[in-house]
Amino acid sequence: MPSRNGIFWLASYPKSGNTWLRIVIVNLLNPSKGPIDLSQIKTGDMASSRTWINNTLAFVDSGSLTHDEVDQLRPAVYRWQGEHADGVSYHKIHDAYTYLNDKTPLIPVEGCLGALYLIRNPLDLVISFSYHLNCSIDEAIDKMGDKHFAFGQSKYRPYGQLRQHLLSWSEHVQSWTAAKDMNVMVIRYEDMKLKPLETFTQAADFLRLDASEEAIAKALDNARIEKLQEQETQFGFVDRPANVERFFRKGIVGEWRDVLTQAQIKKIVQRHGDVMKAYGYLPKSA
């Protein structure tokens, strides 16, 4: 009998639709309310939330531990949280699915009900990523190709988030989709945009959200990009990086055709072509 308690991970490389997914989830969890305002968009704590980790460690401050020492404790934290969960909880994660030196996965299977992995065409993702990081597209391409790329790894200042190894974009995708014994469903951002009702219905079913087609349609309407942009203009959005004008930018598919140069496209395809083919972003014969 499947467990009724535990964690679903909402996993993605940054700028792949994770926030949009969570906005829809929160709307589905609160169907009687109107559109949920952006300040209430919180499913569970993010995997890399230092507050979540500290609360679980109780008397131990993760800020007194090195990044590597914290990583050693993270599997036990997630296992504990999943096994003691009161029902089902949903937690965003940007970390790649990595392993400690003793081959323990950072994200344990115990206490975990599954992972919904969102993937987005890297040709579009890189544009969004460059805005998010406030860097050039070429710099964003390099970061997406860097197996050592990580968030929150400074040694000189504290962060509210733990260090998150992203690996390269391709490696990030492969790490999650090949995660041993992990119940993973992959959803493409493009299908979320182009076939939203069908795609979000599949996602809701996987995530054990008991939602009717009508409820999903309503949640999708509440989460339309225009409404989110309007809310952000009026009230701001907590996930917007400080040096970026807005979080909800365009949210369109195929922007790369108008923005990327041929050299940039070639570089991305050279680095990530195999994974792009596997998920329909390049013809298999390319």
Partner 1 sequence: MFRYRAYELIVLSELAFPELISCSESDIVDSDCVTIQLGKLNPNGLDSPLLTGLLYQMTETALWLNVPGIARFLVRDGNHVTVDPVPGLDEASIRLFVLDACMSMLLIKRRLLLFHGSVVQLGQHCVAFTGGPGSGKSTIAAAFLRRGYSVLSDAICAVDERWHVMPGYPQIRLWFDAAKRLGFDTRALQQIRPELFKFYVPLSSQFHASRLPLKVVYVLETHNRDEIALTHVEGMGKLRPLLSNTYEGPKQLQRCTQLASQVSVVNVAWPYHVHQLDKLVDLIENDFACHGLKNAIS
Q: Could you say which of 32, 34, 101, 157 contacts partner 1 (CB under 8 A)? A: 157
Instruction: Give the contacts of 122 (CB within 8 A, at least 6 positions apart).
Output: 144, 169, 268, 272, 276, 281
Tokens of 283: 């013809």
Q: How far is the CB of 79 from partner 1 (least distance, A)?
A: 9
Beta strands in 122-219 (DSSP E): 150-151, 164-165, 184-188
Nearer to partner 1, 31 or 63 (CB): 63
Q: Are 212 and 197 in contact (CB under 8 A)?
A: no
Q: Decide if residue 101 touches partner 1 (CB under 8 A).
A: no
Nearer to partner 1, 107 or 116 (CB): 107
From 37-45, 62-70, 114-122, 219-227, span contacting partner 1 (CB under 8 A): 62-70
Nearer to partner 1, 74 or 92 (CB): 74
Q: Which of residues 70-89 bind partner 1 (CB under 8 A)?
A: 72-73, 76-77, 80
Q: Could you say which of 8, 22, 44, 50 contacts partner 1 (CB under 8 A)? A: 50
Instruction: Give the contacts of 33 (CB within 8 A, at least 6 positions apart).
Output: none
Nearer to partner 1, 78 or 189 (CB): 78
Q: How far is the CB of 92 from partner 1 (least distance, A)?
A: 17
Number of residues that bind partner 1 (CB under 8 A): 31
From 32-40, 130-138, 178-186, 233-241, span contacting partner 1 (CB under 8 A): 233-241
Q: Could you say which of 163, 208, 224, 240 contacts partner 1 (CB under 8 A)? A: 240
Task: Give the Cα separation of 259 and 75 in Å (integer).
Answer: 41
Nearer to partner 1, 144 or 162 (CB): 162
**CA separation, residue 159 to residues 48, 49, 144, 162, 253 (Å):** 10, 9, 22, 7, 33
| Residue 261: its H or E element | none
Q: Decide if residue 151 touches partner 1 (CB under 8 A).
A: no
Q: Chain-centre distance of CA 158, in angstroms?
A: 22
Q: Decide if residue 54 touches partner 1 (CB under 8 A).
A: yes
Q: How far is the CB of 53 from partner 1 (least distance, A)?
A: 9
Q: Are 95 and 48 in contact (CB under 8 A)?
A: yes
Q: What is the DSSP letter of 84?
A: T
Q: Decide if residue 63 touches partner 1 (CB under 8 A).
A: yes
Q: How far is the CB of 183 from partner 1 (least distance, A)?
A: 24
Q: Could you say which of 159, 186, 202, 208 contacts partner 1 (CB under 8 A)? A: 159
Instruction: Give the contacts of 89 (CB within 8 A, at least 6 positions apart).
Output: 6, 7, 8, 43, 44, 81
Instruction: Give the contacts of 93 (CB within 8 A, at least 6 positions apart).
Output: 9, 10, 11, 46, 47, 48, 107, 115
The structure tokens 């344990």 sit at 108
Binding stretches for partner 1 (CB under 8 A): 50-51, 54, 56-64, 66, 69, 72-73, 76-77, 80, 154-160, 236, 238, 240-242
